[in-house]
């Protein structure tokens, strides 16, 4: 019995240790978008391919999809994008890519994302087809459930949004 518990413990610890603790403090950019950007800054990097509209007060989400007609320019390969703002600042970026775009499986998505952004592959923890990296102040998530999908969230801003939602 002890031998079985020892073997199970070793297997658990070795599978858990494949991902390193993320000590990165600066979140990577996604489509040249960075957490904390203002609406003006967001539009400066997305135009002319996309004009983002959002209120500067409270919470606001901008959504755009290219299901019927593929995105062009800087957004080529993107199927849909969600941008979430709170008090005029971008706190969450969520991108869904076209099915035929670059990454055939989750591992190639994580490897490609890491190569594109410089975010180390070893920070991702993968479980049941979902990948997550919790870093200093932000969280990254990725999956291939509905096609390649990557999301970056500012953790402190997300807490502020949740508090705002409870009040309103």
DSSP string covering 111-144: HHHHHHH---GGG-EEETTEEEEE-SSEEEEEE-
Q: Hey, which residues does 85 pair with through a beta bridge?
A: 60, 90
List, in order, residues 6 or more apart from 110 with CB less than 8 Å away. Answer: 121, 124, 126, 131, 142
Contact (CB, 8 A) for 128 and 134: no
Q: What is the dihedral of CA 75, 78, 80, 86, to 10 degrees?
A: -50
**Would you give per-residue pLDDT tens digits along the chain (168 residues)?**
444 433 434 444 444 445 679 989 999 999 999 999 999 999 999 988 889 988 777 889 999 999 888 888 889 999 999 999 999 999 999 999 987 777 889 999 999 999 999 999 999 999 999 999 999 999 999 999 888 999 999 999 999 999 999 988
Contact (CB, 8 A) for 8 and 18: no
- Residue 15: the pLDDT is 41
What distance in Å separates the CA atoms of residue 84 and residue 52, rounded to the nearest whole number? 11
């Amino acid at each position: 019995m002890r031998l079985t518990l020892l073997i199970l413990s070793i297997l658990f610890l070795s599978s858990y240790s494949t991902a390193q603790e993320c000590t990165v403090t600066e979140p990577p950019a996604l489509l040249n978008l960075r957490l904390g950007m203002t609406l003006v800054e967001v539009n400066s990097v997305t135009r002319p391919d996309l004009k983002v509209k959002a209120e500067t007060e409270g919470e606001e989400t901008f959504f755009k999809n290219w299901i019927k007609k593929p995105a062009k320019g800087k957004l080529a390969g993107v199927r849909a994008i969600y941008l979430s703002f709170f008090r005029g600042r971008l706190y969450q970026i969520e991108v869904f890519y076209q099915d035929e775009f670059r990454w055939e499986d989750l591992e190639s998505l994580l490897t490609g994302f890491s190569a594109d952004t410089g975010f180390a592959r070893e920070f991702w923890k993968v479980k049941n087809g979902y990948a997550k990296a919790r870093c200093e102040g932000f969280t990254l998530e990725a999956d291939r459930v509905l096609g390649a999908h990557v999301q970056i969230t500012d953790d402190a801003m997300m807490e502020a949004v949740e508090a705002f939602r409870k009040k309103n």
